Amino acid sequence: MLRDVDINEISDGHFYSLSDMAKLGCNECAGCSACCRDMGRSVILDPMDFYRFAKGGIGTFSSMLEREVELNITDGVILPNIKMTGTDSACPFLTTEGRCRIHAWRPGLCRLFPLGRYYENGSFRYILQTGECKAQNRYKVRIRKWLDMPDPVSYEKYINCWHDLIRKAGEKIPRMDDRKQHEAVMYLLKEFYEKPWSVSGGFYDEFYERTEKLRETGLL
Ligand code: SF4
Ligand code: SF4
């Protein structure tokens, strides 16, 4: 979710890259599940999250829309997010012991927290959001390790490409007539979320093929 805020108000004022260390360590969240509750619509899911959900046997876009996921307008387009549920407004993947049931397959934004991404000049750097993680005495961890994502360089390239695609869609779609708006919104949902990803292959090649196909449609 894009935020138009003063960077110094929400972060420690530093920019980080994969090889940097930042005060992120929280003892594996022992006794805390604060960022898995009351998160509203903020845990937005990207296409790779659904590739990983499929790979981990968590569910498909369609099956998860029945319980764990909902659709909302975010940054001018319709995107899925984790649906906080129950009286305590918790993530449906949070166990009664306060642990993540899908830890190995958790979404990219859960891996990132409490880091954020600061986009500028066609790429991004990481920021450490202050006042987000509730852990005291956090210790330094290398960001590459914190993200716990195989091939983090390819992952960053993909995130940047997806961010750019959604940003442009968010600018263009509101200026279209109703019919085109519907067509573009449905195309994004169907091609990047609903259509299964081949879990036997790598994700990235297929993602770039789909972005190329989108470009050829001239829709966005
Ligand atoms: S998917 Fe896991 S880490 Fe992410 S909000 Fe839900 S319980 Fe927390
Ligand atoms: S707020 Fe910090 S310590 Fe608590 S669950 Fe989230 S990341 Fe872990």
Q: Is residue 3 part of a domain?
A: no
Question: 178 CA to middle of ligand 1, Å?
Answer: 35
pLDDT, position 132 = 94
Pocket probe for ligand 2: among 23, 29, 101, the residue whose CB has the most ligand atoms within 8 Å is: 29
Residue range 171-194: average pLDDT? 96
111 in any annotated domain: yes
Specify the pLDDT at position 54. 97
Residues in CB range of 87: below 8 A, 6 or more apart: none
Would residue 43 count as lying in a domain?
yes
Task: Provide the token pair at 88.
Answer: 């305590």
Mean pLDDT calculated for residue range 15-38: 96
> Residue 6's pLDDT is what?
81
Instruction: Give domain status of residue 1, yes or no.
Output: no
Tell me which residues have their CB closer than 6 angstroms to ligand 2. 26, 29, 32-35, 113, 133-135
Q: How many domains does the chain have?
A: 1
Q: Over range 62-75, report the average pLDDT.
A: 95
Distance CA 151, CA 52 (A): 14
Is 102's C-beta closer than 6 angstroms to any atom of ligand 1? yes
CB of 109 sitting under 6 A from ligand 1: no
Task: Measure the CA–CA gap between 204 and 198, rounded to whole angstroms.
Answer: 11
Whether the predicted pLDDT of 182 surpasses 90? yes
Residue 2 located in a structural domain: no
pLDDT the model gives residue 33: 97
Residues 88-131: tens digit of each pLDDT: 999 999 999 999 999 999 999 999 999 999 999 999 999 999 98
CA distance 93 to 82: 9
Q: What is the domain extent for residue 26?
A: 8-217
Return d(Cα 199, Cα 56) in angstroms, integer: 9
Question: For tokens 């990803």, what's the residue?
Answer: 197
The closest residue, in CA terms, to atom 4 on ligand 2 is 32
